[in-house]
Chains A and B, each alone.
Chain A
Amino acid sequence: MKKSYRIEPIDIALRESRTRNEAHVLYEAGRLELNVPRLLAIGRFCVYMERLEGKLLRDIDQRPGQFGEVGRELAILHESGIAHGDFTPANIMKVGKRFFIIDFGLSEITKGVEEKAIDLLLMKRSVDPRCYAAFARSYARHSKNARGILAKLDGIEERGRYKVRSVA
C-alpha cells in the first residue's frame, strides 16, 4: 500500500522489497500446507492471493481456549524457518473454526532465534496474560526449538527497556 506520509524513494523501495518478501514466504508456507492464504500471482507492488472470509482475532472476543491453536500455527511456521515479523491479533484471522496467519510483509526466512522471539514478544504485549499463557504453552509443545526461543525472549525483555505488560 502506498503511504502518503513517506517520500517516494522510501515508499517504492519498501513496497517492492516487501511484496517480494511476502510472495516468497507465502509460497513457502503454502507448500508446507500451513494455514495461510493461497498465493495466486505476483505484481511489482502487489501480491494476489486467495480471499479469506473471516474475522480478525483482534475483533472477536478473545478466550485462552483459542490461543492454543494460534500457538501451534506459529510453532509450525517457525519450525519451517519463517518468522512473521508482526504477529499480533490484527494479523490472525478466524476462518470457520481455523486460524489463519495473514500479512507476511515483514516476515523473514531465517535460522535465527531473535526474529522468532520477537513474534512471541509482540503477542505477549497485545493480549491478555491468560491468553498469552495458553498460546505459549501450546507453542512450546509444538516447537522443537521452543526452549532456545523462549530463552531469547527472556533475554530481550531483560535488555532493560522491556518489561512486558499487555494492553489487554
Chain B
Amino acid sequence: MLVLGIESSAHTFGVGIVRNGKILANPKAMFKIENKGLIPAEVAETHAVNAAGVVSDALELAGIKMREIQGVGYTRGPGLGPCLQVGELTAKTIAKRLGVAIAQVNHAMAHVEITKKFAKMQDPLVLYVSGGNSQILKKNEKFLHYSVLGETFDIGVGNMLDSFAREIGLNPAWGSTVARLAEGGRYVKLPYKVKGMDFSFTGIATSAAKMKERESVEDLCFSVQETAFSMLCEATERAMLLTRSRELCVCGGVAQSNRLRQMLGLLAKEHKVRFGYAPDQFNADNGAMIAFVAEKMLKRGMESKLSECGIEQRYRIEDAVIA
C-alpha cells in the first residue's frame, strides 16, 4: 500500500511517503525558532504557506504521482490546535480529491513505532522525550494500547531546555544550543526531583535562570542538562526494574541528544538490556512516522470517515489503539 502521512503538531510541517513499511520520502519545513517561543497561530500560518510545497517535494522525492497514493494519514494529536488543523485540512483535501481512505494517527505512538522499526524491537520499554512530552511507556500485557508508567509532572524536558535557553539569552533558543555550550562546563547544584517513575522539570530551569549572574553560561548549560537527563535515566531505571523489560529505546526530539543517548546506553549496559534509537530525522517530528503508522492502521481497517476526522490537542497515547 502506498500511503502519504502528514505531521504538523508543532514547529514542523512534514510529509512522508511509505510503501509496505518502506520509507520513500520524508521532507519537512520548519518554523524558524530564533530566540522566542512558539506562537501557535503564527506557526500555523507558516505551515499553511509551506503545505503544498512540502507535499510536492515528497511526491518528487518518492518518484510517484499524486494519483498513485492509496491512503492518507495525519496527526490527530497531541499538539498545538492551530498547527494540527493545517495538517488535518491538508490530509482531508488529498483524501477527498483522490477518494482514498484516511487514518488519524497519535503523534506519540508514531514516534514509538518508527523507533521500534529502526531499532528492530518488538516490545521495548520506551523513553519518549520531546518538547511537549516526557513519558516512560510500555505496551500493556494484552498489547491493546501503551501504558504510561512515568511522566513529567509539569512540562516536557525539551520545553524546559528551550525556556531555559530563552531565559539566558541563547539563539537559537533550544536544546541543541544548550548541548553545545554544555561541553566543558562544571557542575553546579540544581533541584533534582524524581518521584517513583515520575519527574518534574520546571524547578531546574527556574533555579538555573536565577543563577545566571553568578555562574557561567557553560556551567549552567552543563548542569541543567546533566540534572534533567540523570532524572530521566533514574525514572527509566525504575521502570526497567518493574517491567523487567529486556529492550530499551528512546524517541522524540530530545532523543537526538548524544549525551542522553550515551547515558541511556550506559544504563542499559549495567542491566544487560538491549538499547536502540532511530536516526535523527525520525526523532525530530516528521511525516514518515505518521505515514508508517497510517499504513498499518489502514491495512487493519482502522480508517475514519472524513466527517469523523478532527484534532485533539491532548490526545493521550493510552487512548490510541495499537495497529
Q: Is the CB of B198 within 8 A of A118?
A: yes
Q: Is residue A48 contacting chain B, with contact meaning CB distance below 8 A?
A: no
Q: Is the CB of B192 within 8 A of A125?
A: no
Q: Is the CB of B149 within 8 A of A167?
A: yes
Give Cα A88–Cα B136 distance, bound, in whole angstroms.
Answer: 15
Q: Is residue B243 contacting chain A, with contact meaning CB distance below 8 A?
A: yes
Size range of the interface on A?
Answer: 20 to 34
Q: Is the CB of A88 within 8 A of B263?
A: no
Q: Is residue A3 contacting chain B, with contact meaning CB distance below 8 A?
A: yes
Known: A167-B141, A167-B243. A6 touches B233 (CB 8 A): yes
Q: Is the CB of A6 within 8 A of B226?
A: yes
Q: Is the CB of B244 within 8 A of A58?
A: yes
Q: Is the CB of B149 within 8 A of A125?
A: yes
The residue from A3, A86, A87, A161 contacting B270, defined by CB atoms under 8 A apart: A3
| List of B residues within 8 angstroms of A4 by Cβ | 266-267, 269-270
Residue of chain B at shortest CB distance from A123: B196
Give Cα A70–Cα B304 distance, bound, in whole angstroms.
Answer: 45
Q: Is residue A43 contacting chain B, with contact meaning CB distance below 8 A?
A: no
| List of B residues within 8 angstroms of A13 by Cβ | 189, 192
Residue of chain B at shortest CB distance from A10: B230
- Contacting B at CB under 8 A, from A1-15, are 3-7, 9-10, 13-14
Give Cα A162–Cα B150 distance, bound, in whole angstroms.
Answer: 10
Interface readout for B198-241 with A: 1 if CB under 8 Å, 0 if not?
10000000000000000000000000001100100110011001
Q: Is the CB of B151 within 8 A of A162?
A: yes
Known: A125-B148, A125-B149. A118 touches B195 (CB 8 A): yes
Size range of the interface on B?
Answer: 35 or more
- Name the distance in Å between A140's Cβ and chain B's nearest Cβ: 21
Q: Is the CB of A125 within 8 A of B270?
A: no
| List of B residues within 8 angstroms of A161 by Cβ | 151-153
Q: Is residue A64 contacting chain B, with contact meaning CB distance below 8 A?
A: no
Q: Is the CB of A106 within 8 A of B196?
A: yes
The residue from B152, B242, B266 contacting A58, defined by CB atoms under 8 A apart: B242
Q: Is residue B248 contacting chain A, with contact meaning CB distance below 8 A?
A: no
Q: Is residue B23 contacting chain A, with contact meaning CB distance below 8 A?
A: no
Residue of chain B at shortest CB distance from A115: B195
Give Cα A4–Cα B265 distance, bound, in whole angstroms.
Answer: 10
Residue of chain B at shortest CB distance from A160: B314
- Contacting B at CB under 8 A, from A76-128, are 85-90, 106, 115, 118-119, 121-122, 125-126
Q: Is residue A141 contacting chain B, with contact meaning CB distance below 8 A?
A: no
- Name the distance in Å between B81's Cβ and chain A's nearest Cβ: 15
Q: Is residue B90 contacting chain A, with contact meaning CB distance below 8 A?
A: no
In the assembled complex, 11 residue pairs joining A and B whose CB atoms fall closer than 8 Å, in A order, are: A4-B269, A5-B230, A6-B233, A7-B230, A10-B187, A122-B196, A122-B197, A125-B149, A126-B149, A165-B148, A167-B243
8 additional A-B pairs beyond A88-B242, A165-B145, beta carbons within 8 Å, are A5-B267, A10-B192, A90-B241, A122-B196, A125-B149, A125-B197, A163-B316, A163-B319
